[in-house]
Structure 1
Amino acid sequence: MSLTIPTPSWRHYFALNPDSDRRYPLPDILRGVAIVLMMLFHGWYDLSVFGFVSMDFQDPLVRGVRGIIVGLFCTMAGASLYWTHARDFRWHALLRRQGQLILAALLLSLFSLLAYPEAWIYFGILHFFVVALLISLPLVRWPLLAGVLGAALVLAERLGLPGSDPWLHDHLQPILGLPDGSIDRMYLLPWLGVVWIGIWLARLPLLHKPIAPALHRQTRWLRWMGQRPLSLYLIHQPILFGLAALLWLLTR
């Protein structure tokens, strides 16, 4: 069963529960939870930009919430990669998805460069997924190996073992003249390992099971969001930032 569904008509994007019989509900719920948490996180950040609240990115709570959000997205990305390509590599689906991610990542870099020239996004979460999904594709045929290697990468990064440092930012950043800071910066480690763990988790029966009818109704909005992570990722921040700016103007 594949989680990659051909792009339907525009009605699909406004339907509350499209193609629910063709998808696993729990992964969509988990992605929906990640999107809700992401919106709350970015909404709080936008309010901090205009001085309504404070936000310390070194605060353990803030770092923990961000870790949960990114972890859910990475885990489900790995699982979806397995469900889509485990039997046969679907090159058309892969190229289409990679094309969408590359275009979105380039646009995000461009707009962030215009808005934050000293902290523009040169390797954010979208750039990460472009790279991580290509690196991870061969492992969909060996999910157990993916899980073992993924756990090893996460453990190596947590323990600070040699070779597990953020090479892109510590080594390439000064060579390429990239800014010291970035408003959205991702590291290959440990998150590539989390994607690989997601490939292994895709084999677990728990993720494939249907949910109770009552829970199915109660989670329909989460599943609706979980089926459109890229679209919601791209549009939610301009909307939230605009609302925060409007609030600032009204309270001046």
Structure 2
Amino acid sequence: MAVYHGCWDLTFHGLASFDLLGDPLWLTARTLILSSFLLLAGVSLVLATGGGLDAKRFLSRLARLAAAAGAVSAASYILFPDSPIFFGVLHHMAAASVIGLAFVRLPAALTLAAAVAAVLAGEHLAVPAFDSPWLRWIGLTTVPPNSNDFVPLLPWIGGVLAGIGLARLWPGIGTGPSGPNLLTRALAWAGRHSLAVYLIHQPLLFGLFWLVAQGVGMDTPQARNFHASCVASCTQTGAEAGLCDSNCLCVRTELTKAGLWDRFIANRLDDQGRRRVGDAVLACGPQR
């Protein structure tokens, strides 16, 4: 998960050009990572309720999940106003935790059948009525919303239900001894504090790669592609290559000053941002 997010950050900041949304290998990686995340959430729910439901502890965990999901949404609306996170993995896990309580005492076969049904419904059903902003989180929308992390109830709750069913088939799960070496102890610690790890690692990686992007300036694949395309378009108008080179560098500088460069490269500008790009182009034009 951290590696995937790191690659996303590298691409967003123009330090790499991973095709995360189009390359079948990256799409498969995302599916496997998210599926394992939700599968373990289902297993954990069974372990947490093995001796009966501790309502106080469950509600405390649910409140932390909901608060974390709200914080992620708030940050995304600030950073990515064109593609905010309104129902990401944390939102999903909060909802799935409540729904999953209905399955932790049911026969494993029934829960696994429900998991399969959820996946099939999410993959093959699409109803226009669910295109409403208030219903998109269910997953039956005909047009996927533009969001940086959309994990709708269907089909993804199938992963949580599969985890519950598999844990019910394995009564001794979670009772084995901890590993003796440092690596296994570190992994166990991260597992016990998975929410904190999830919330902290991405801001750290995002901030680190932002600093790197500021340091390398134009020397990134996206920056070079922009500059070459800008100069080519400029020279086609009859302007001299030297002046075009200067003008295009000016545009990059103005966008960076305005805090628009990352969103411009990632094609995540809103209408106001696009107008400000136009203003930068005019300000840096040959008339200077």
Taking structure 1 as the reference length, what is the TM-score of the superposition?
Answer: 0.74
The match for 1:233 among 176, 194, 198 is: 198
> In the TM superposition, what are the counterparts of 1:1-252 in structure 2 within 5 Å?
38-56=1-19, 57-144=21-108, 145-158=110-123, 160=124, 164-165=125-126, 170-173=130-133, 180-203=145-168, 204=170, 207-208=173-174, 210=176, 213=179, 216-252=181-217
Task: Name whichever of 104-113 and 49-58 sits farther off.
Answer: 49-58
CA distance in 1, matches of 2:135, 2:175: 49
Paired positions, count: 208
CA distance in 1, matches of 2:70, 2:157: 21
Runs of 4+ in 1 over 3 A off after TM superposition: 155-158, 164-168, 205-209, 211-214
What are the Cα deviations for residues 42-83 of structure 1, in whole angstroms up to 9, with x where unaligned?
111111112121122121111111111111111111111111
Percent of paired sites with the same residue: 36
CA distance in 2, matches of 1:175, 1:147: 25
Larger radius of gyration: 2
Q: CA deviation at 1:235?
A: 0.8
Distance 1:230 1:213, change over 3 A: closer
What are the Cα deviations for residues 171-221 of structure 1, in whole angstroms up to 9, with x where unaligned?
223889xx941111112122111111101111325744636856x544222
Secondary structure of the corresponding residue to residue 202 of structure 1: helix
Which residue matches 1:20?
A: none
Counterpart AA for 1:42 = H
CA distance in 2, matches of 1:53, 1:172: 35
Distance 1:69 1:167, change over 3 A: farther
Which protein has greater RCO, CA pairs closer than 8 Å, 6+ apart? 1
CA distance in 2, matches of 1:77, 1:167: 31
Secondary structure of the corresponding residue to residue 104 of structure 2: helix
Secondary structure of the corresponding residue to residue 200 of structure 1: helix
Counterpart AA for 2:9 = D
CA distance in 2, matches of 1:205, 1:129: 23
Q: CA deviation at 1:139?
A: 0.7
Q: Is the 8 A contact 1:166 1:189 kept in 2?
A: no
CA distance in 1, matches of 2:193, 2:119: 28
Secondary structure of the corresponding residue to residue 150 of structure 1: helix
Task: Name whichever of 93-102 and 81-90 sits farther off.
Answer: 81-90
CA distance in 1, matches of 2:214, 2:26: 27
What are the Cα deviations for residues 71-117 of structure 1, in whole angstroms up to 9, with x where unaligned?
11111111111111244221111100110011111111111111111
Q: Is the 8 A contact 1:143 1:199 kept in 2?
A: no
Distance 1:74 1:212, change over 3 A: closer
